[in-house]
Structure formats: structure tokens, C-alpha cells
Amino acid sequence: MKAVIILPTYNEKENVHKLIPLLEEVVFPKVENHEMAILVADDNSPDGTADEIREFMKKWKNIDISQGPKHGLGAAYIRGMSYAIEHMGADVVFEMDADGQHDPMKIPDFMKKIDEGADMVIGTRYSGGGSIPANWPPQRKAFSIVANIFVRTVFTKFSIHDWTGGYRALKKEVFLKEKKELSNFKGYIFQISFLHKAIRDGFTIAEVPFHFSDRKLGSSKIAPVGYIIEVVKFVILTRIKELLLGSFGKYLVVGGFGFLLNAIILKIGVEFFNLTPTVANLAGAAVAIFSNYNFNNIWTFRHHKITSPKQYFIKLLHFYLTSAFGVIFIQTGTIFLGDILFGKEGYFLYFLIGTGLLLIWNFTIYNKFIWKKKSTQ
Ligand SMILES: Nc1nc2c(ncn2[C@@H]2O[C@H](COP(=O)(O)OP(=O)(O)OP(=O)(O)O)[C@@H](O)[C@H]2O)c(=O)[nH]1
Ligand SMILES: [Mg+2]
């Protein structure tokens, strides 16, 4: 395979001067069985980074440069990856800071993970011995640590420890698949969104721990603290969109329809058939649960559809039981607790909180037990 290390640069003349010989003379000879090359994605740096690279290109034939206007890190990577694949024949592309903060000696470890079958390898500072500079100011440390915990939690993807780092390797298939959807996001958001899409599309992800050293030469282009609000906004909006457009949105539509059925039957039962509200509501709930079960089966969770008649009845029974449990213990229980702890006045708020918890409970149970992958066969 051919792997191209993409170094995005904006005024990194002094840094590439040190990094490129290190890659060529020390690191590349350590990578067995793969052809290694370098692409510098330079945004017309005024400090003459490109001239430095052109000098190196005379000495080493596996170096190339792609220049363009400065539209941010994401744009530089999109341009660089396209170039590496189309003009250099790359099978694998690396993202690597040009300022030496990404320990180049880890490159063989990334390639090993690719050899073992990973589609995308993430350099991690937050697991397995990886670390961030001890001398970073407290607010930068806090930003980096909290941002990563935040992203992992909101995306409920705890197996990936470093979402914002920029030391990565990926097969060209990953880039080609996601290219259309990759926007010119600024620094950290580009990294988060790229990884999020790769996971969504089922690519295999692996991690390589590394120590992120402090920048020694040149100046920083990314202002971490300035990104806080943008990162939070991006991650939350992405998650909400994903949930609403995905099975959770369908589940809400199905549940909303069930709720309407329940309400109509309750009203007809009481007003036209003279039933007591309790009995009429039980009938309405029973019909609504039946409707929910079937619509969820053929629509929300259609990828894990229950087809065998025996399974259909067993799961229907489970569905009734878990739905009843949720209504009695979670929804009604929340109202009960609210009433005892804070008084009756807030009953409607407790109802709303209880219903919210109920929705999450049901969705989790349906995913994990009713329509879980293997049990449906
Ligand atoms: N081509 C290009 N490269 C960029 C741009 N912004 C940042 N870079 C490069 O991306 C890499 C990471 O940027 P840095 O400024 O080092 O960000 P950082 O590592 O979070 O910050 P420091 O720890 O202060 O170095 C460096 O190689 C930069 O030169 C850009 O707009 N265009
Ligand atoms: Mg840096």
C-alpha cells in the first residue's frame, strides 16, 4: 500500500525544515511493506514554507506540495487528501500537524493498525498512555479534556477517546465515501465531524496512544478557547438531527400516533359507550401499544424486523410488559415522587419529566431487547 503523510501548513517553514528530514531518514525506513510519501498542503504561507518544500522535493522524489487559498484546516485537508489520492496514488492518507507535536515515530504503529484491518486510526492523547503537554495552561487542558468527554457522551461513543486531535490515518475509501459531506469546518469541528461520519458508516476504527508535545517553533493557528461554543453547538445539533432523522424520530412519530389512538378511544369509550375513564383508557392504551408494536416493527426497527410468528407473539408480550412497566414505574413513579418531594402543584411538570424519561426508557429497551440484532432470527 502507498501511504501519504499530509502536513497542513500555514507559516511552518522552521518546523517542516526539521520534520521532513526526520520522516524521510528515520521514520520511513522503519515502515516495512509500505511505500511512504509526503504531501504538504500549504495555504500560500507568506513565510516561504513552499520554497523550503521545493528544495526538499529536489532531494526526495516522494514529496509533493498542494497550494491553495487559506480557507482553514478542514479545507486544506480536503484539498490535500483529494490530491494525494488522485495524483499520488495514495491508498492511505495521514493527518499530521507540521509543527512536530505529533510524534512521527508512531507512524509505524498507525500502519500496523491499518494492516490489522482498521479503516481509520485515531491518535489518542486520552487513553492507553497518551498524554497532553504538562505545561499547557489550565484552561487549555480543561478545554481539551472536557471537550472530549462531552463529545463522547453526547454521541454515546465511549470507545473513542480522542475526537479533537489531528493525528490520524485513514484508508482512501473512508475519505472518498465522506468527501461530499465534509464541509470546510474549522479545526476541531472538522475532526469531530469526519470521525462521526466514518463511525456512522460502519468503518472500523482503531486507536494509537501518543504523547502530544508542546509546540516549540512558530505560532499557534488554532485558538482552542474560541471554539468552545461552536464545538458544543455543532455536537448537540448533529446529535439531535441524527436522532430525529434516525430511528428515534420514527419512534416518536409512531408513539405520537399511538397517543392519538389512545386519546380517541378514551373519549369514544367514555362519551358513546358510557365506560368508566379507567376502563376506556385501558382499552385505548392496549390498542395504542398494539399499534406502536406493529409500526415500530415494520418501520422504526425495520432493519431488525421480527418475522417468525412465534417470535412475533413472544416479543409482543415483552412489549406489553415493558410498556406497562414504563408507565407504572417510570412515568407514574416520577409523578409520585415529585408529588411527595415538591408538592402537588407541579404535577404537570412531573408528568412531562416522567414522560421524557419514559420515552428514553422505552427506546432503550426496544433497541436492546425487543429489536436487538440477533434475537430476531
Ligand atoms: N494549510 C493550513 N494549515 C493550517 C491552517 N490552520 C492550521 N494549520 C496547520 O494545522 C496544524 C495544526 O495547527 P496548530 O496551530 O499547530 O494547532 P494546535 O496544534 O492545536 O495548536 P498549538 O498547540 O499551539 O500548536 C499546523 O501544522 C498548522 O500549520 C490553515 O488554515 N491552513
Ligand atoms: Mg500545533
Assess whether pLDDT exceeds 90 at residue 91.
Answer: yes
- Residue 201 sits in the same domain as residue 263: no
**The domain boundary residue, chosen from 180, 202, 234:** 234
Tens of pLDDT, residue by residue over 46-83, are 999 999 999 999 999 999 999 999 998 999 999 999 99
Closest ligand 1 atom to 15 CA: 27
Task: Look at residue 44 and tell me if it is in a domain.
Answer: yes
What is the overall mean pLDDT for the chain? Answer: 93
Assess whether pLDDT exceeds 70 at residue 376.
Answer: no
- Residue 180 sits in the same domain as residue 81: yes
CATH number at residue 112: 3.90.550.10
Q: Say how far apart CA 288 and CA 294 lie, in whole Å.
A: 10
Tens of pLDDT, residue by residue over 229-251, are 888 999 999 999 988 898 999 99
Please choose from 16, 81, 97, 132 the residue to mutate so as to test ligand 1's pocket, defined by most ligand atoms within 8 A of CB.
97
- Residue 188 sits in the same domain as residue 258: no
- Computed from CA positions of residues 298, 300, 306, 312, in that sequence, does the dihedral angle turn out positive or negative? negative
Assess whether pLDDT exceeds 60 at residue 374.
Answer: no
**Total number of domains in the chain:** 2
Give the domain range for residue 307.
245-376
Task: Look at residue 57 and tell me if it is in a domain.
Answer: yes
Helix/strand/coil (H, E, C) string of 167-182? Answer: CEEEEHHHHHHHHHHC
Provide the grid cell at 248: 428515534
Provide the grid cell at 107: 507512524
Tens of pLDDT, residue by residue over 334-370, are 999 999 999 989 998 998 899 899 999 999 999 889 9
Query: Cα of 222 to ligand 1 centre, how many Å?
Result: 6
Nearest CA to ligand 1 atom 29: 9
Provide the grid cell at 318: 415483552
- Residue 26 sits in the same domain as residue 125: yes
CB atoms within 10 A of CB 61: 8
Q: Say how far apart CA 181 and CA 26 lie, in whole Å.
A: 36
Q: Say how far apart CA 184 and CA 236 lie, in whole Å.
A: 19
Task: Look at residue 240 and tell me if it is in a domain.
Answer: no
- Regarding pTM above 0.85, the answer is no
Closest ligand 1 atom to 133 CA: 23
CB atoms within 10 A of CB 325: 14
**The domain boundary residue, chosen from 173, 204, 234:** 234
Please choose from 13, 220, 221 the residue to mutate so as to test ligand 1's pocket, defined by most ligand atoms within 8 A of CB.
221
- Residue 109 sits in the same domain as residue 164: yes
Q: Where are the alpha helices (DSSP H) in 155-276?
A: 172-178, 187-200, 228-245, 247-271
Task: Look at residue 239 and tell me if it is in a domain.
Answer: no
Q: Which residues surround ligand 2, an ion (CB under 5 A)?
A: 97, 99, 101, 215
Which pLDDT value is given to residue 377? Answer: 35
User: Residues lining ligand 1, judged by CB closer than 6 Å?
Assistant: 8-10, 12, 41-43, 70, 72-73, 76, 97-99, 101, 215, 220-222
